[in-house]
Amino acid sequence: MTTSIPQPADQPMNVNGDSKERQVVQSAMPQLSGPQPKPSEEEVSNSQSFYFEEEQPDLEAPFVAPFQLSGAMPPASGSAQASGQVTSIPSVPSTSPAKTRRRLRLSLPMIAIIVCIAVILGLLAMNALAQPTPPLQTRGAGSPQAPQTVGVRGNQKPGAKTPSPVPTTGTNGQITPSWVPQSLPNGWTNAGLSTGDAVQALRTATTFTDREMSLDYRSVGTRNHHGGTFTAAVFLLTPAAQQRFQTNDVRANNNQLFDMVASTKLIRLVIDPLPKLTKFTAQGQQQFAWVDVQFLLWQSQIDPQTGQGQQGVQLDPVTNQPRVHHLMVLLLRVPPQNAGTSPAMGGTGWLVSNYGLDLPNGTTLDVVQPA
Protein backbone atom coordinates (compact mmCIF):
# COMPACT_ATOMS: atom_id res chain seq x y z
CA MET A 1 0.00 0.00 0.00
CA THR A 2 1.38 3.38 -0.99
CA THR A 3 0.96 6.46 1.19
CA SER A 4 0.92 9.74 -0.63
CA ILE A 5 2.42 12.82 0.87
CA PRO A 6 0.14 15.78 0.53
CA GLN A 7 1.48 18.41 -1.79
CA PRO A 8 1.48 22.08 -0.91
CA ALA A 9 -1.63 23.96 -1.90
CA ASP A 10 0.21 26.42 -4.02
CA GLN A 11 2.21 23.71 -5.84
CA PRO A 12 -0.09 21.09 -7.24
CA MET A 13 1.52 17.90 -8.49
CA ASN A 14 1.92 17.78 -12.21
CA VAL A 15 1.68 14.17 -13.06
CA ASN A 16 2.02 14.81 -16.72
CA GLY A 17 5.25 16.76 -16.13
CA ASP A 18 6.71 13.90 -14.15
CA SER A 19 5.89 11.50 -16.94
CA LYS A 20 7.64 13.73 -19.43
CA GLU A 21 10.75 13.87 -17.23
CA ARG A 22 10.76 10.08 -16.95
CA GLN A 23 10.58 9.79 -20.71
CA VAL A 24 13.54 12.15 -21.07
CA VAL A 25 15.58 10.07 -18.62
CA GLN A 26 14.69 6.87 -20.36
CA SER A 27 15.61 8.36 -23.72
CA ALA A 28 19.02 9.37 -22.33
CA MET A 29 19.81 5.81 -21.23
CA PRO A 30 21.52 3.53 -23.78
CA GLN A 31 19.24 1.18 -25.60
CA LEU A 32 19.93 -2.35 -24.49
CA SER A 33 19.54 -5.20 -26.88
CA GLY A 34 16.05 -6.56 -26.83
CA PRO A 35 12.81 -5.04 -25.53
CA GLN A 36 12.83 -3.67 -21.99
CA PRO A 37 10.10 -4.67 -19.46
CA LYS A 38 7.42 -2.07 -18.75
CA PRO A 39 7.66 -0.61 -15.24
CA SER A 40 4.78 -1.33 -12.87
CA GLU A 41 2.52 1.26 -11.33
CA GLU A 42 4.19 0.80 -7.94
CA GLU A 43 7.60 1.56 -9.42
CA VAL A 44 6.13 4.65 -11.12
CA SER A 45 4.61 5.78 -7.85
CA ASN A 46 7.87 5.27 -5.95
CA SER A 47 9.94 7.09 -8.56
CA GLN A 48 8.06 10.36 -8.08
CA SER A 49 10.07 13.33 -6.90
CA PHE A 50 9.64 14.79 -3.45
CA TYR A 51 10.96 17.96 -1.94
CA PHE A 52 10.94 19.88 1.26
CA GLU A 53 9.08 23.08 1.76
CA GLU A 54 12.23 25.14 2.02
CA GLU A 55 13.50 23.93 -1.37
CA GLN A 56 11.94 24.78 -4.70
CA PRO A 57 12.02 22.08 -7.34
CA ASP A 58 13.97 22.78 -10.46
CA LEU A 59 11.64 21.79 -13.19
CA GLU A 60 13.81 23.12 -15.98
CA ALA A 61 16.75 20.60 -15.73
CA PRO A 62 15.94 16.97 -16.54
CA PHE A 63 16.65 14.25 -14.02
CA VAL A 64 19.90 12.30 -14.65
CA ALA A 65 20.28 8.72 -13.54
CA PRO A 66 22.85 8.33 -10.74
CA PHE A 67 25.07 5.79 -12.46
CA GLN A 68 27.79 5.70 -15.12
CA LEU A 69 27.29 4.25 -18.53
CA SER A 70 29.37 1.21 -19.41
CA GLY A 71 30.54 -0.03 -22.78
CA ALA A 72 28.40 -1.94 -25.19
CA MET A 73 27.32 -5.33 -23.98
CA PRO A 74 28.11 -8.38 -26.10
CA PRO A 75 25.12 -9.65 -28.06
CA ALA A 76 23.17 -12.39 -26.31
CA SER A 77 21.32 -15.33 -27.80
CA GLY A 78 17.64 -15.10 -28.52
CA SER A 79 16.64 -17.32 -25.62
CA ALA A 80 18.69 -15.26 -23.16
CA GLN A 81 17.14 -12.00 -24.41
CA ALA A 82 13.68 -13.44 -24.14
CA SER A 83 14.16 -14.34 -20.50
CA GLY A 84 15.79 -10.98 -19.67
CA GLN A 85 19.21 -12.57 -18.96
CA VAL A 86 22.47 -11.60 -20.56
CA THR A 87 24.88 -14.42 -21.42
CA SER A 88 28.49 -13.47 -20.80
CA ILE A 89 30.94 -14.73 -23.39
CA PRO A 90 34.44 -15.41 -21.97
CA SER A 91 37.04 -13.40 -23.74
CA VAL A 92 39.87 -15.45 -25.35
CA PRO A 93 43.27 -13.85 -24.76
CA SER A 94 44.90 -13.17 -28.03
CA THR A 95 48.65 -13.59 -28.48
CA SER A 96 50.14 -10.63 -30.20
CA PRO A 97 52.83 -11.21 -32.90
CA ALA A 98 55.28 -9.07 -30.94
CA LYS A 99 55.10 -11.37 -27.92
CA THR A 100 55.45 -14.41 -30.15
CA ARG A 101 58.53 -13.00 -31.82
CA ARG A 102 60.01 -12.07 -28.46
CA ARG A 103 59.44 -15.59 -27.15
CA LEU A 104 61.13 -17.09 -30.23
CA ARG A 105 64.03 -14.64 -30.03
CA LEU A 106 64.70 -15.50 -26.40
CA SER A 107 64.89 -19.21 -27.27
CA LEU A 108 67.73 -18.76 -29.82
CA PRO A 109 70.54 -18.54 -27.17
CA MET A 110 69.27 -21.73 -25.60
CA ILE A 111 69.34 -23.46 -29.00
CA ALA A 112 72.91 -22.25 -29.59
CA ILE A 113 74.03 -23.56 -26.19
CA ILE A 114 72.47 -26.96 -26.88
CA VAL A 115 74.19 -27.16 -30.28
CA CYS A 116 77.58 -26.26 -28.76
CA ILE A 117 77.22 -28.88 -26.04
CA ALA A 118 76.28 -31.50 -28.63
CA VAL A 119 79.32 -30.65 -30.76
CA ILE A 120 81.68 -30.80 -27.77
CA LEU A 121 80.29 -34.15 -26.67
CA GLY A 122 80.64 -35.47 -30.22
CA LEU A 123 84.28 -34.39 -30.41
CA LEU A 124 85.04 -35.99 -27.05
CA ALA A 125 83.42 -39.22 -28.16
CA MET A 126 85.38 -39.24 -31.42
CA ASN A 127 88.61 -38.54 -29.56
CA ALA A 128 87.95 -41.37 -27.13
CA LEU A 129 87.04 -43.88 -29.84
CA ALA A 130 89.69 -42.89 -32.38
CA GLN A 131 92.78 -45.07 -32.51
CA PRO A 132 96.10 -43.32 -33.16
CA THR A 133 97.75 -44.26 -36.43
CA PRO A 134 101.43 -45.11 -35.95
CA PRO A 135 103.76 -43.00 -38.06
CA LEU A 136 105.80 -44.46 -40.86
CA GLN A 137 108.83 -46.25 -39.45
CA THR A 138 111.93 -46.74 -41.53
CA ARG A 139 114.01 -48.55 -38.97
CA GLY A 140 114.20 -52.26 -39.38
CA ALA A 141 111.87 -52.31 -42.38
CA GLY A 142 112.40 -53.32 -45.97
CA SER A 143 114.70 -55.73 -47.72
CA PRO A 144 118.49 -55.84 -47.29
CA GLN A 145 120.10 -52.61 -48.39
CA ALA A 146 122.06 -52.41 -51.61
CA PRO A 147 125.75 -51.55 -51.35
CA GLN A 148 126.51 -47.86 -51.39
CA THR A 149 129.85 -46.30 -50.60
CA VAL A 150 129.69 -42.92 -48.87
CA GLY A 151 133.27 -42.85 -47.66
CA VAL A 152 135.94 -45.23 -46.42
CA ARG A 153 136.55 -45.01 -42.68
CA GLY A 154 139.09 -47.06 -40.75
CA ASN A 155 138.87 -50.71 -41.76
CA GLN A 156 135.74 -50.33 -43.89
CA LYS A 157 135.73 -52.07 -47.25
CA PRO A 158 134.08 -50.48 -50.29
CA GLY A 159 130.86 -52.15 -51.41
CA ALA A 160 130.06 -53.62 -47.97
CA LYS A 161 126.46 -54.57 -47.27
CA THR A 162 124.48 -52.83 -44.57
CA PRO A 163 123.79 -54.97 -41.49
CA SER A 164 120.26 -55.47 -40.33
CA PRO A 165 119.25 -52.75 -37.88
CA VAL A 166 118.46 -53.61 -34.30
CA PRO A 167 115.56 -51.35 -33.30
CA THR A 168 114.41 -50.55 -29.79
CA THR A 169 110.72 -51.34 -29.31
CA GLY A 170 108.72 -49.21 -26.90
CA THR A 171 105.75 -50.17 -24.74
CA ASN A 172 103.25 -49.14 -27.43
CA GLY A 173 104.78 -51.41 -30.05
CA GLN A 174 106.41 -48.57 -31.96
CA ILE A 175 110.12 -48.26 -32.65
CA THR A 176 111.42 -45.39 -30.57
CA PRO A 177 114.94 -44.19 -29.76
CA SER A 178 116.22 -45.07 -26.31
CA TRP A 179 119.22 -43.49 -24.64
CA VAL A 180 119.07 -45.79 -21.62
CA PRO A 181 120.33 -49.31 -22.44
CA GLN A 182 118.01 -52.09 -21.35
CA SER A 183 120.95 -54.43 -20.78
CA LEU A 184 124.68 -53.88 -20.35
CA PRO A 185 127.38 -55.90 -22.15
CA ASN A 186 129.24 -58.69 -20.40
CA GLY A 187 132.02 -57.47 -18.10
CA TRP A 188 130.60 -53.93 -17.90
CA THR A 189 129.68 -53.90 -14.24
CA ASN A 190 132.70 -56.04 -13.28
CA ALA A 191 134.91 -53.30 -14.72
CA GLY A 192 133.36 -50.81 -12.31
CA LEU A 193 131.22 -49.07 -14.93
CA SER A 194 127.64 -47.93 -14.32
CA THR A 195 124.56 -47.26 -16.41
CA GLY A 196 125.51 -43.58 -16.44
CA ASP A 197 128.81 -44.49 -18.11
CA ALA A 198 126.84 -46.40 -20.75
CA VAL A 199 124.61 -43.39 -21.46
CA GLN A 200 127.70 -41.17 -21.84
CA ALA A 201 129.20 -43.68 -24.29
CA LEU A 202 126.00 -43.51 -26.37
CA ARG A 203 126.10 -39.70 -26.33
CA THR A 204 129.73 -39.63 -27.47
CA ALA A 205 129.15 -42.07 -30.33
CA THR A 206 126.00 -40.25 -31.49
CA THR A 207 127.71 -36.85 -31.44
CA PHE A 208 130.63 -38.22 -33.42
CA THR A 209 128.27 -39.78 -35.99
CA ASP A 210 126.37 -36.50 -36.44
CA ARG A 211 129.57 -34.49 -37.00
CA GLU A 212 131.33 -37.09 -39.11
CA MET A 213 128.46 -37.85 -41.51
CA SER A 214 127.02 -34.32 -41.91
CA LEU A 215 128.33 -32.07 -44.69
CA ASP A 216 127.58 -28.53 -45.86
CA TYR A 217 129.19 -27.01 -48.98
CA ARG A 218 129.02 -23.57 -47.32
CA SER A 219 131.41 -24.71 -44.57
CA VAL A 220 134.21 -26.87 -46.04
CA GLY A 221 137.35 -24.76 -45.76
CA THR A 222 139.52 -24.53 -48.87
CA ARG A 223 140.62 -27.10 -51.40
CA ASN A 224 144.15 -27.09 -50.02
CA HIS A 225 143.12 -26.95 -46.39
CA HIS A 226 139.86 -28.68 -45.56
CA GLY A 227 137.90 -27.43 -42.58
CA GLY A 228 134.39 -26.68 -41.33
CA THR A 229 132.11 -29.69 -41.61
CA PHE A 230 134.99 -31.74 -43.10
CA THR A 231 136.85 -31.69 -39.77
CA ALA A 232 133.98 -31.19 -37.32
CA ALA A 233 134.41 -34.64 -35.68
CA VAL A 234 138.15 -34.55 -35.12
CA PHE A 235 137.88 -33.17 -31.57
CA LEU A 236 136.33 -36.46 -30.38
CA LEU A 237 139.19 -38.63 -31.69
CA THR A 238 142.06 -39.88 -29.59
CA PRO A 239 145.51 -38.45 -30.52
CA ALA A 240 146.37 -41.64 -32.41
CA ALA A 241 143.00 -41.66 -34.19
CA GLN A 242 143.56 -38.06 -35.34
CA GLN A 243 146.70 -39.17 -37.16
CA ARG A 244 144.82 -42.05 -38.80
CA PHE A 245 142.09 -39.62 -39.82
CA GLN A 246 144.52 -37.62 -41.97
CA THR A 247 145.65 -40.81 -43.73
CA ASN A 248 142.51 -42.92 -44.09
CA ASP A 249 139.46 -40.63 -44.05
CA VAL A 250 138.09 -39.49 -47.44
CA ARG A 251 137.56 -36.02 -46.01
CA ALA A 252 141.27 -35.45 -45.59
CA ASN A 253 143.32 -37.81 -47.78
CA ASN A 254 142.24 -36.33 -51.16
CA ASN A 255 139.94 -33.80 -52.83
CA GLN A 256 137.48 -36.22 -54.41
CA LEU A 257 134.76 -35.73 -51.80
CA PHE A 258 135.55 -32.03 -51.51
CA ASP A 259 135.06 -31.42 -55.24
CA MET A 260 131.79 -33.38 -55.30
CA VAL A 261 130.36 -31.41 -52.37
CA ALA A 262 131.36 -28.09 -53.94
CA SER A 263 130.06 -28.89 -57.45
CA THR A 264 126.67 -30.25 -56.34
CA LYS A 265 126.24 -27.77 -53.46
CA LEU A 266 125.59 -30.69 -51.18
CA ILE A 267 124.00 -30.31 -47.75
CA ARG A 268 123.81 -33.65 -45.95
CA LEU A 269 122.53 -34.01 -42.38
CA VAL A 270 122.13 -36.94 -39.99
CA ILE A 271 118.52 -37.51 -38.86
CA ASP A 272 116.89 -40.00 -36.47
CA PRO A 273 120.07 -41.39 -34.86
CA LEU A 274 119.61 -44.49 -32.71
CA PRO A 275 122.66 -45.73 -30.75
CA LYS A 276 123.05 -49.18 -29.22
CA LEU A 277 125.80 -50.45 -26.93
CA THR A 278 126.80 -53.83 -28.36
CA LYS A 279 130.10 -54.97 -26.83
CA PHE A 280 132.68 -54.27 -24.14
CA THR A 281 136.18 -55.58 -23.59
CA ALA A 282 139.26 -54.80 -21.53
CA GLN A 283 142.81 -55.17 -22.85
CA GLY A 284 145.34 -54.61 -20.12
CA GLN A 285 144.64 -51.19 -18.59
CA GLN A 286 142.48 -50.07 -21.51
CA GLN A 287 138.71 -50.50 -21.78
CA PHE A 288 136.82 -50.46 -25.11
CA ALA A 289 133.13 -50.17 -25.95
CA TRP A 290 131.44 -50.73 -29.31
CA VAL A 291 128.42 -48.59 -30.16
CA ASP A 292 126.31 -49.15 -33.30
CA VAL A 293 124.65 -45.88 -34.38
CA GLN A 294 121.76 -46.30 -36.81
CA PHE A 295 120.64 -43.21 -38.73
CA LEU A 296 119.17 -41.74 -41.92
CA LEU A 297 120.56 -39.01 -44.15
CA TRP A 298 118.65 -35.97 -45.37
CA GLN A 299 120.35 -34.18 -48.23
CA SER A 300 119.91 -31.30 -50.64
CA GLN A 301 121.97 -31.02 -53.84
CA ILE A 302 122.01 -29.96 -57.50
CA ASP A 303 121.77 -32.73 -60.10
CA PRO A 304 124.95 -32.40 -62.26
CA GLN A 305 123.13 -33.69 -65.36
CA THR A 306 119.91 -31.65 -65.24
CA GLY A 307 120.96 -28.78 -63.02
CA GLN A 308 117.74 -29.16 -61.02
CA GLY A 309 117.71 -29.05 -57.23
CA GLN A 310 116.85 -32.22 -55.31
CA GLN A 311 116.22 -32.69 -51.63
CA GLY A 312 114.83 -35.30 -49.27
CA VAL A 313 115.80 -38.41 -47.38
CA GLN A 314 118.45 -40.49 -49.11
CA LEU A 315 116.79 -43.49 -50.78
CA ASP A 316 118.05 -46.94 -51.57
CA PRO A 317 118.36 -47.29 -55.37
CA VAL A 318 117.01 -50.85 -55.32
CA THR A 319 114.05 -50.67 -52.92
CA ASN A 320 113.39 -46.92 -53.33
CA GLN A 321 112.97 -46.79 -49.54
CA PRO A 322 114.90 -44.61 -47.06
CA ARG A 323 118.45 -45.89 -46.79
CA VAL A 324 119.33 -46.94 -43.23
CA HIS A 325 123.02 -46.44 -42.41
CA HIS A 326 125.09 -47.82 -39.54
CA LEU A 327 128.26 -46.32 -38.18
CA MET A 328 130.17 -48.60 -35.82
CA VAL A 329 132.12 -46.51 -33.31
CA LEU A 330 134.88 -47.98 -31.14
CA LEU A 331 135.31 -45.96 -27.93
CA LEU A 332 138.28 -45.85 -25.59
CA ARG A 333 137.64 -45.29 -21.89
CA VAL A 334 139.20 -42.04 -20.63
CA PRO A 335 138.15 -41.38 -17.03
CA PRO A 336 136.89 -37.82 -16.53
CA GLN A 337 139.50 -37.15 -13.85
CA ASN A 338 142.22 -37.92 -16.41
CA ALA A 339 140.72 -35.91 -19.31
CA GLY A 340 142.50 -32.63 -18.50
CA THR A 341 141.15 -29.12 -18.13
CA SER A 342 139.39 -28.87 -21.52
CA PRO A 343 138.10 -32.34 -22.36
CA ALA A 344 135.92 -33.07 -25.39
CA MET A 345 132.21 -32.61 -24.70
CA GLY A 346 133.10 -31.55 -21.17
CA GLY A 347 134.57 -34.93 -20.32
CA THR A 348 132.15 -37.79 -21.00
CA GLY A 349 134.71 -40.46 -20.14
CA TRP A 350 135.10 -41.72 -23.74
CA LEU A 351 136.99 -40.85 -26.95
CA VAL A 352 136.72 -42.39 -30.43
CA SER A 353 139.52 -44.76 -31.35
CA ASN A 354 138.17 -46.22 -34.60
CA TYR A 355 135.00 -46.20 -36.73
CA GLY A 356 133.57 -47.88 -39.82
CA LEU A 357 130.52 -47.15 -41.99
CA ASP A 358 128.06 -49.85 -43.07
CA LEU A 359 130.21 -52.86 -42.15
CA PRO A 360 129.09 -56.31 -43.36
CA ASN A 361 126.94 -58.43 -41.04
CA GLY A 362 128.95 -60.06 -38.30
CA THR A 363 132.00 -57.89 -38.93
CA THR A 364 133.63 -56.58 -35.76
CA LEU A 365 135.60 -53.37 -35.83
CA ASP A 366 139.13 -54.29 -34.73
CA VAL A 367 141.01 -52.60 -31.95
CA VAL A 368 143.92 -50.67 -33.43
CA GLN A 369 147.02 -49.85 -31.35
CA PRO A 370 147.88 -47.29 -30.35
CA ALA A 371 144.29 -46.68 -29.50
The pLDDT value given to residue 138: 32
CB-based contacts of 203: which residues, under 8 Å, 6+ apart? 179, 345, 348
CB-based contacts of 358: which residues, under 8 Å, 6+ apart? 145, 148, 150, 156, 160, 161, 162, 163, 325, 326, 327
Tens digit of each residue's pLDDT, the chain (371 residues): 444 444 444 444 444 444 454 554 455 454 444 455 555 555 544 444 444 445 455 555 555 555 455 555 555 444 444 444 444 444 444 445 544 555 545 578 888 888 889 888 888 877 766 544 443 333 333 333 333 333 334 333 333 333 334 444 444 455 555 678 888 999 999 999 999 999 999 999 999 999 999 999 999 999 999 999 999 999 999 999 999 999 999 999 999 999 999 999 999 999 999 999 999 999 999 999 999 999 999 999 998 888 899 999 999 999 999 999 999 999 999 998 888 888 999 899 999 999 999 999 878 899 999 99
Q: Are 217 and 266 in contact (CB under 8 A)?
A: yes
Architecture (CATH level 2) of domain 195-357: Roll (3.10)
The pLDDT value given to residue 180: 87
Containing 298, the helix (H) or strand (E) segment is strand 286-302
CB-based contacts of 168: which residues, under 8 Å, 6+ apart? 175, 176, 177, 178, 182, 274, 276
The pLDDT value given to residue 233: 97
Number of Cα atoms under 13 Å in the Cβ half of residue 171: 0
Q: How far apart are CA 25 and CA 50, in angstroms?
A: 17
**DSSP per-residue codes, 246-292:** HHH-TTTS-SHHHHHHHHHT-EEEEEEEEEEEEEEEEETTEEEEEEE
The pLDDT value given to residue 154: 39
Q: Comparing C-alpha atoms, which of 318, 322, 261 is closest to residue 295?
A: 322
Give the CA distances from residue 248 to residues 154, 251, 327, 331, in Å, rounded to whole numbers and listed in that order: 6, 9, 16, 18
Q: Comparing C-alpha atoms, which of 238, 250, 272 is closest to residue 356?
A: 250
The pLDDT value given to residue 49: 47
**DSSP per-residue codes, 35-84:** PPPPPPHHHHHHT-----TTSPP--SSPP--SS----PPPP--HHHHHTT
CB-based contacts of 215: which residues, under 8 Å, 6+ apart? 229, 230, 261, 266, 267, 268
Q: How far apart are CA 332 and CA 348, in angstroms?
A: 11
The pLDDT value given to residue 123: 83
Q: Where are the domains of the chain?
A: 12-28+39-65, 195-357
Q: For the whole model, what pTM was predicted?
A: 0.55
The pLDDT value given to residue 336: 87
The pLDDT value given to residue 9: 46
